[in-house]
Homo-oligomer: A and B are copies of this chain.
């Protein structure tokens, strides 16, 4: 019979073993200056021997601070969010914070649970990539008193911090690029605009580019696909049958664009000879793909770093309800080899 799981040693245990009080042990381990050097060394040595680790639960309870932030995002398997997370986690770690990840799968219900979990765990702050199924979750967050920053998407209707890309500009750049290359019938394979500020803004940019060029926006060329499920293929191939005059696709994201390309290829449609494609996000800034996708750089790292910086400022600041940062990272067109000049 084993002697059961070994209990982790506590300050008390060290105190008993060394003969000092709990208080002294605590101060010694934290390198407080008012402890005799010998005492400190002795205590630290015993602590090491016993395999002592500070119990963050107890510390945090006492200190009212967990040195933990939560990252709540719609889909960690989306490279955009994955890369953002890397940046956030790294930056947070450097500042002494650990990161709790909560994935919402674009679901409002999961998101609500995620927020509750984060609040219950007393995180010091939250990087919040809203699924935007409803405003309620954001309101809950605002009412909680916990500092948070909206990331990648945001609600225009509330006054809160955000770091997002300039989606309208990006949508404009992508579309204008295609128009410039002679394309007139451009399919917008958008995300679900009803619930997604990025999708809405990119669409606004698409529209603006048409207007600037004196071209009509053709409503049937604006389609929405589920970003997650990847039902891109059917939508796309269906559209191309209906409107064989389509010569270009502006995709909501690089992932949608890549998925579209995969389906086109499977159906013998060549990119860019038959169809031109522009994506969004520039995930190739983080990963080497053998597909030189023309896309819009949304500055993933910059956006992530800005969001973290903003959050840490809010955490340090006296008033978490004060808006510190409402930032649009400036997008940039990245030419690749997926757009054909048909002029």
Contacts and interface: CB of A to CB of B under 8 A. Distances in A.
B145 A258 contact: no
Interface stretch (A11-19, A22-30, A98-106, A149-157): A98-106
**Dominant secondary structure at the A interface:** mixed
B290 A122 contact: no
Contact of A100 (B5, B101, B264): B101
Contact of A66 (B57, B58, B110, B261): B57
B53 A232 contact: no
Contacts of A51: 143-144
Contacts of A143: 51
Given A145-B5, A258-B288, A121 B58 contact: no
A2 B288 contact: no
- Total copies of this chain within the assembly: 2
B286 A77 contact: yes
Contact of A53 (B77, B85, B110, B120): B120
Contact of A61 (B57, B105, B144): B57
B66 A76 contact: no
Interface residues of A, number: 68
Nearest to A81: B82
Contact of A119 (B2, B4, B53): B53
Nearest to A85: B76
A89 interface: yes
A274 interface: no
Interface in A73-91: 75-77, 79, 82-83, 85-86, 89-90
A76 B55 CA distance: 27
A232 B290 CA distance: 13
A213 interface: no
30 contacts: A2-B321, A5-B145, A5-B321, A7-B145, A8-B119, A51-B143, A53-B116, A53-B119, A55-B61, A55-B122, A56-B120, A56-B122, A57-B57, A57-B66, A57-B122, A61-B61, A75-B86, A76-B85, A76-B89, A77-B86, A85-B101, A86-B103, A90-B105, A99-B100, A232-B288, A261-B290, A262-B288, A265-B290, A271-B290, A289-B289
